Amino acid sequence: MIALKLAIRNLTGAKLRTFLNAAVLSFAFVVLVFYMGLLDGWNRQSKLDMEAWEIGEGQLWSKSYDPFDPYSLQDAHSIILTSYNSEIDRGNITPILLVQGSIYRQGTLINIIISGIEPKQRLLKIPSRVLKSESKEVPAIIGSRFAKVNGIKKGDYVQIRWRDKNGTFDALDVEICNIFKTNVSTVDNNRIWIPIKRLQEMSGLLKEATILVTSNPNIDMPPTDWIFRDKKYLEKEIDNIIFAKKRGSIVVTILLLSIGLLAIFDTQVLSIFRRQKEIGTYIALGMTRMEVVKLFTLEGSIHSIFALILATIYGLPLLAIIASTGIPMPSAVDEMGVSIGEKIFPYYEIGVLIVSVLIMVLAATTVSYFPSRRIGRLNPIDALKGKIK
């Protein structure tokens, strides 16, 4: 208790030096918490968007479907089981048929995936209801990024080309009747959405689909033609990206903490040199060497406590404001095919906060202890005379 009182008194006496150390450390802490929050926010937001726009509560894939192998897409379709029809009617399953195709913009061929979706579905946020059309023209919807890149506007007619199940070319003009905005690039980039029935007729794949999106994660085990992919499997890609980012963030964390800890280390070394007589007096008055080491280590640790208090004073409101307003993301990031919103709203998990606090306090204590060990080897007479080399 005496050590604690002495440590606090010594630190408050040092005024500006203590403040500067605490300020540097608090800055490192705030940036660390913000960075971790940003990654968690991105992760959370991406998963929510993916669930709403693309994966639902899981998907059934046609046996040959592999989203990373475009050449297998031609064979990736299976008959929709009649047992699923009632679930489809109730809106609990949304069938999607994918067929490779192409469009031409300014004389350049662009490979696309013609995606057939049920117009009346409500499971996904894709605005398919506008595809309910009785006219002969095939209505189509596209994402805003695809529209922007290719200069397509609402009301435009676009000629799409595809090959039917036998490999015969076919072409058709579709009317773009809506352009939707989504954060999920996989439902936007190079995708044209049309009614599934039309696509089934066009491709000759009657009553077939590539994917069945479901709202029921415990759907009956499918027969051999369909494979169930749960959310964990479907979100693996985003999990891997976030994991890689978090691993990368270790470097940033170490750098930030090093700046703060270096200041504490420097202060400790300087203190031992400048406070030789004080150390000698403590020992002369009856404190053991280890108690003096403890006192100096405690002083270093208390820097981190002061830093936490300081971080709470300015960091808490700052992080709260950022969490509510979000961080705008450059458009180039999502053009790379990564699911990301226009803004990322950081999400601070209590577990991450506790771990960050513990790391900082432990690190501050450790860097304070090492220079203080020297005190244990001091001769109190030399210390009193200020003769430490």
Partner 1 sequence: MKLKNHGLSNLLIKRPIIAITLIVLILQCGFIFGQSADDILSKVDLNLSSNNRVFESTMNIIGRRGSRFIKSKTYAEGYKKSFTEYLYPPGDKGTKMLKLEDHLWIYSPSTDRTIQISGHLLRQSLMGSDLSYEEMMEDRKLTEMYKVNIEKKEEIFGRRCYVLYLEAKVEDVAYFTQRMWVDVERFVPLKQELYSKSGKLLKWMKSEKIQKTGERWFPMKVIYKDVMKEGDGTEFEITDIKFNQYITPSIFSKASLKK
Binding residues for partner 1 (CB under 8 A):
71-72, 74, 100, 104, 106-109, 159, 161, 163-164, 166-172
User: CA dist 28 to 111, 128, 190, 240, Å?
Assistant: 47, 47, 42, 26
Q: Count of CB atoms within 10 A of residue 338's CB?
A: 15
Q: Cβ of residue 167: shortest distance to partner 1, in angstroms?
A: 6
Q: Count of CB atoms within 10 A of residue 330's CB?
A: 9
Structure tokens at 300: 């270093």
Q: Cβ of residue 155: shortest distance to partner 1, in angstroms?
A: 20
Place of tokens 């280390």: 265
Q: Cβ of residue 99: shortest distance to partner 1, in angstroms?
A: 12
Contact predicate 137/175, CB 8 Å = yes
| Non-local CB neighbours of 44 within 8 Å, separated by 6+ positions | 347
Q: Cβ of residue 74: shortest distance to partner 1, in angstroms?
A: 5
User: How many angstroms separate the CA atoms of 277 and 48, rounded?
Assistant: 62
Q: Closer to partner 1 at the Cβ: 170 or 349?
A: 170
Q: Closer to partner 1 at the Cβ: 82 or 108?
A: 108
Q: Closer to partner 1 at the Cβ: 206 or 309?
A: 206
Q: Cβ of residue 173: shortest distance to partner 1, in angstroms?
A: 9
Write down how long the chain is. 389
DSSP label at 137? S
Structure tokens at 127: 């605005």
Q: Closer to partner 1 at the Cβ: 135 or 324?
A: 135
Q: Closer to partner 1 at the Cβ: 74 or 258?
A: 74
User: CA dist 8 to 2, 263, 297, 326, 375, Å?
Assistant: 10, 18, 12, 38, 19
User: CA dist 191 to 102, 144, 338, Å?
Assistant: 10, 11, 16
User: How many angstroms separate the CA atoms of 97 and 360, rounded?
Assistant: 52
Q: Cβ of residue 253: shortest distance to partner 1, in angstroms?
A: 40
Q: Cβ of residue 132: shortest distance to partner 1, in angstroms?
A: 23
Q: Closer to partner 1 at the Cβ: 167 or 351?
A: 167
Q: Closer to partner 1 at the Cβ: 38 or 98?
A: 98
Structure tokens at 284: 């002369």
Q: Cβ of residue 75: shortest distance to partner 1, in angstroms?
A: 8
Q: Are strands 208-209 and 138-143 parallel, antiparallel or unpaired?
A: unpaired
Q: Closer to partner 1 at the Cβ: 68 or 221?
A: 68
